[in-house]
Amino acid sequence: MPNASFDYRPVVDALINVAKDLGIVMIEDDSEGDLPPYPFATYTFTSPFIPIGNQLEITALFEAVISITFHDRSKLNVLNLSRKLATYFKTSSARENLRSKGIIVVSIEAVSTRDNFISIGYERMAGFDMRIRLFDMFQDNPDTIEKINFEIKTKTQTGGN
């Protein structure tokens, strides 16, 4: 049995810090507690584990998809903020920053609107999905084969012709 499972916290912390550096508050989607004032962003792992290659290796690469959504009362504001962050994640400085934390940006989907009707009005939302590649370093302690005994039998020993 592997000695540990992958910890998504450093990935989330890196994304939150990038957003914070751009003046954006980012929280977990559908989380409990009070919401920050508008505008703010939410994140959720829509696909937390997409295997790549042979998963029997000692180290495993995998991909994940994170959905980032901005919330505000202004449709233009959420569109602008979404484009700002999506564009930033495409820059070499952002990619290098994330790479230094073990996060490789694979692709960034187009920004789309995600408005939500709330009783008598709309919460304006827009966002994008980002596919990232992660590295899961785990150690497996397999049973080892200490000794193999085998016999080679010839046709004369087995009664064959």
Q: What is the dihedral of CA 48, 50, 52, 55, to 10 degrees?
A: 80
The answer to whether residue 1 is domain-embedded is no
Query: Quick one: pLDDT at residue 139?
Result: 54
Q: Give the domain CATH number at 98.
A: 3.30.2000.10
Continuous segment of H or E residues that includes residue 117:
strand 116-118
pLDDT tens by residue, 145-154? 677 777 777 7
The answer to whether residue 149 is domain-embedded is no
The answer to whether residue 63 is domain-embedded is yes
The answer to whether residue 151 is domain-embedded is no
The answer to whether residue 19 is domain-embedded is yes
Structural domain including 53 reads 9-141
Q: How many domains does the chain have?
A: 1
- Mark the ranges of the chain whose per-residue pLDDT is less than 70: 1-4, 54-59, 116-121, 138-145, 155-161
Query: Quick one: pLDDT at residue 136?
Result: 81
Closest CA to 116 of 65, 78, 66, 67: 78
The answer to whether residue 158 is domain-embedded is no
Query: Quick one: pLDDT at residue 4?
Result: 56
Query: Quick one: pLDDT at residue 23?
Result: 94
pTM score of the predicted model: 0.78
Token code pair at residue 127: 């966002």
- Looking at beta carbons, which pairs linking 19-28 to residues 24 or more positions away fall under 8 Å? 19/85, 22/84, 22/85, 22/88, 24/70, 24/81, 24/85, 26/68
Q: How far apart are CA 64 and CA 33, in angstroms?
A: 26
Query: Quick one: pLDDT at residue 146?
Result: 73
Query: Quick one: pLDDT at residue 123?
Result: 79
Give 36-103 as a DSSP string.
Answer: PSSSEEEEEEEEEEEE-S-TTSSEEEEEEEEEEEEEES-HHHHHHHHHHHHHHHTSHHHHHHHHTTT-
Q: How far apart are CA 39 and CA 126, in angstroms?
A: 11
Q: How many CA atoms lie within 13 A of 136 on its CB side?
A: 25
Query: Quick one: pLDDT at residue 2?
Result: 45
